[in-house]
Chain A
Amino acid sequence: MIFLYLFITFFEIGLFGFGGGYGMLSLIQHETVEHYHWLSTAEFTDIVAISQMTPGPIGINSATYCGYTAIQNAGYGHLMGILGSITATFALVLPSLILMILISKMFMKYMNTSLVQSVFTGLRPAVVGLLAAATLLLCNRENFSTPIENPWQFWISVALFAATAFGTGYLKINPIRMICYAGFAGLLLLY
């Protein structure tokens, strides 16, 4: 049953994931963390971090990781886990495959019409909102701790958040390098 849910979920994510990898994050998070509880917020954040540091699209990375982890968390072994990640990844790719083939076959001429363009006029600001929601949902206890529970970790986390935003946003430091710095800071300060 969980395989069927994995397939449906990632098929939906592939079908409605507009706006590139980051735009997809909100959908993946909503389905896998909020809806099915296959992953904790911390695990989801770890996947994003790992995706940044390894090659390949973030959508594929999350599908693969999530497929494996969801099956493992449900109490199955390695082999079933691998089958789970194949299911999720295949389901994610399938809508792209179908849609792109359809477009190159017959819809190429429709892509520049005002109808399609006006649909995208509506989608563009919504995708910004999706990304903002993903950010807000990640700002929680699991990623930052709380000022009451662990003030030291909380304020270090806030500082790392601000430093990374400043570093990648203004100083244009490579995100992978920023992740390495943050990991090093975590090792020194949050051990």
Chain B
Amino acid sequence: MNNIYWESFKTFFKIGIFTLGGGYAMIPLIEEEVVNKKKWVSKDEMLDLIAIAQSCPGVFAINIATFIGYKLNKVRGAIATALGTALPSFLIILAIAIFFKQFEDNKVVAAIFRGIRPAVVALIAVPTFRLGQRAKLNWFTFWIPVVCALAIWALGVSPIYIIIIAGVAGYIYGRFVQDDKDTSKQGV
């Protein structure tokens, strides 16, 4: 019994090490290890898992890992896989956090980061538009992200409230006014 905990921990530790660029880059790797090699879940189950993990809050990779771990060994299995996924990035970032402080004031490092920062802002700006396309915004829904963004940016509203309001509004919209498109404006 001990073996399977260690096995699943090791597998997700490996997945955690080799995924650059965040959660979605993880999908092919998880599929290779968990579906093809270890056969812990089937291909169809994996598709369902991805859909659920994507729609739930939290870190995508941790969601997936927890799901598979729980399926294998209940709560302890879930802890093993979640720990395995989080540990590599935890250790790497901790090392960077400890040493970066000492290099921060170094002139060369400071110049490099002055160049990197505007580039990073662009890296966040680009997916905003891609996400907008995927959310299938149209002239009836276009105002929602605009209002949300302005509320956070200009008025300093916490994104948590925006999430709660949007979820409740979506629920009300789906429950009461889905047939009548125009009344959706009352939703948020």
From A111, A122, A135, A186, B121 is in contact (CB under 8 Å) with A135
Let me know if B111 and A187 touch, CB within 8 A: yes
B138 CB to nearest chain A CB (Å): 10
Let me know if A45 and B112 touch, CB within 8 A: no
Closest A residue to B61 by beta carbon equals A57
Let me know if A26 and B152 touch, CB within 8 A: yes
Chain B interface SS verdict (over half) = helix
Closest B residue to A89 by beta carbon equals B90
Interface residues of B (CB under 8 A from A): 16-24, 26, 51-63, 66-67, 70-71, 75, 78-79, 82, 85-86, 88-90, 92-94, 96-98, 100-101, 107-108, 111-129, 131-132, 135, 137, 141, 144-153, 156, 158-160, 162-171, 173-175, 178, 187-188
Residue contacts A-B, CB under 8 angstroms, 26 given: A18-B163, A42-B113, A49-B119, A52-B21, A55-B19, A57-B26, A57-B60, A61-B89, A69-B101, A99-B56, A100-B63, A118-B171, A118-B178, A122-B173, A123-B170, A125-B145, A126-B144, A129-B152, A137-B153, A158-B118, A160-B115, A163-B119, A164-B118, A179-B119, A185-B115, A187-B111
The 9 closest A-B pairs by CB, nearest first: A186-B115, A122-B170, A118-B174, A56-B89, A129-B148, A126-B166, A96-B58, A182-B119, A129-B145
